[in-house]
Amino acid sequence: MPLHNYNPLSPLKKPDCSQSVSLFRRGWVRTGVLSMVLSLSGGMSLAQQNLPSMGEPADNALSPIEEKQLGAQFMRQIRASMPLVRDVPTTEYIQTLGNRLALASGKASQLDFTFFVINDDQINAFAIPGGYVGINVGLIEAMNREEQLAGVVAHEVAHVTQRHHARAFALGNQYSIRTAATILAAILIGQASSEAGQAALAAGMAANQQSAVNFTRTNEIEADRIGIEILTNAQYNPNAMAESFAILRRQNSLNTSRGALQYLRTHPLDENRIAEAKDRARVSADQSIAPQTDFQLFKARLAVMATEDRGQLQRTFQAKFDAKPTAETTYGLALIHLEANRLDKAESYLDQLRDLAPSHPLAELSRAQVMENKGDLDGAVALLEKLYENYPERFSVVEKLVDLQTRKRRLSKAMEITKQYLRRNTDPNPLAWRQLASVQERLGQTAASHESLARYFTGLNELGRALNQLKLALQYVEPESKDELRLKASMNSIRGIPPGQNPDENKEEN
């Protein structure tokens, strides 16, 4: 589904994962990739072998740059074949939470992290090379407080910062390309269908190779320890790690018909780990419980997007609301009525939400949507402009304001708002570049539009497509102009060509 036609509150559909097999036919899969592949489901152990020391065999086997490149290739396949949640406010929340934890790790300057949500009701989370962390809707729904979700995410961040992927890669050269491809197929398919994934895995692996799917206890305990430190540094209660483990154990005991939870199959949770996590938390500084409003609204929005039965979800929210209104149930009911175009009811719940979450940006975005749906574009723009003054760094606000300014044909204003957002943020949402490209195209700035699209694709690590956009931009600038020199310099940078060196113009782009 094209992003520009995406309705964020429409039920998310799971795509056909048969596309996954195309990944294995490409030339980048090489011997030793097994260990990297395993991390897609959270698993990466190599039969309890001793880990190499940091900075030596791991770096020799896979440099940080190579790790990032391999992770970007995996991420491109994930975007193509998995049901990612693409709603901007939702992705903004999980990225903000993840960035807080990454910064608290003390290694955010070395690694750029990307956090994303998968519309899958199985309880699972995983990290892949280069700082990509995925969290299933099912796991988010199982958590009761933000710090519990943060505990799981901090654990995955620790796997990345400790370079467990590269360590395992250094030990994985005995595995064949065929085995690596088979396991990758099982994991990617298994994200959408655990039964299909298990069948693919069983068909392609011998019993001794199958044991490699699980993390080593050494890696798990290290990720627990570092994760608790990250939670503490991020001003979360460090006890949340043990709490999240307890929730997973409880959910696993209730999951009698489907076997072990997917997360526990790849992150074994024995009797000692909860106790060990509690003991480690005791030596950390005590932290108060984090405010839950952002988390509650995030969960409500995610529930409305992910459900396949809005009627049942409405009844559930309504029963909880009648018992005791909360920000989560009130916002959830407002969204359900908004999506059903019952605008007065949606507005009524949003009015009640003001007492529970005063002037919250998510609530105000929904209020602007109600006004837009009622035909009051001027009122919606005025509300969004006020929201933009308070939250200029939030792309969810910028995106909606620019969209309405564009609809009102205030193209220069829309372009300036987007450029201000891009200037203010060191790590902007790549979608801002695509939105800017659309406005520039409507203004007749064709070269600038292609250049902005190149920045968008670069942000997604789609470097071949970025180069194609830069080539198109070159067709609309004067030869030997400053614009041409800038565009060619950008092309050389993407290709990794040092300044002053002539590129091979006939080189095929991937």
Q: Which are the catalytic amino acids?
A: 156, 224
Query: Is the Cα torsion angle 197, 200, 201, 207 positive or negative in sign?
Result: positive
Q: Annotate 261-288 with DSSP letters as a single string.
A: -HHHHHS---HHHHHHHHHHHHTSPP-P
CA dist list (Å): 469 to 245, 255, 475: 46, 49, 10
| Rg for the chain, CA atoms, rounded | 24
Q: Judge contact between 217 and 48, C-beta under 8 A.
A: yes
Residue 397: other Cβ atoms inside 10 A: 27
Instruction: Decide: helix, strand or coil at residue 84.
Output: strand
Q: Annotate 99-148 with DSSP letters as a single string.
A: HHHHHHTT-TTT---EEEEE---S--EEEETTTEEEEEHHHHHH-SSHHH
Structure tokens given for 123: 């309880």
Question: Which of 302, 303, 290, 315 lies closest to 232, judged by CA?
Answer: 290
Q: Judge contact between 216 and 228, C-beta under 8 A.
A: no
**C-alpha span between 148 and 125 (Å, rounded):** 13
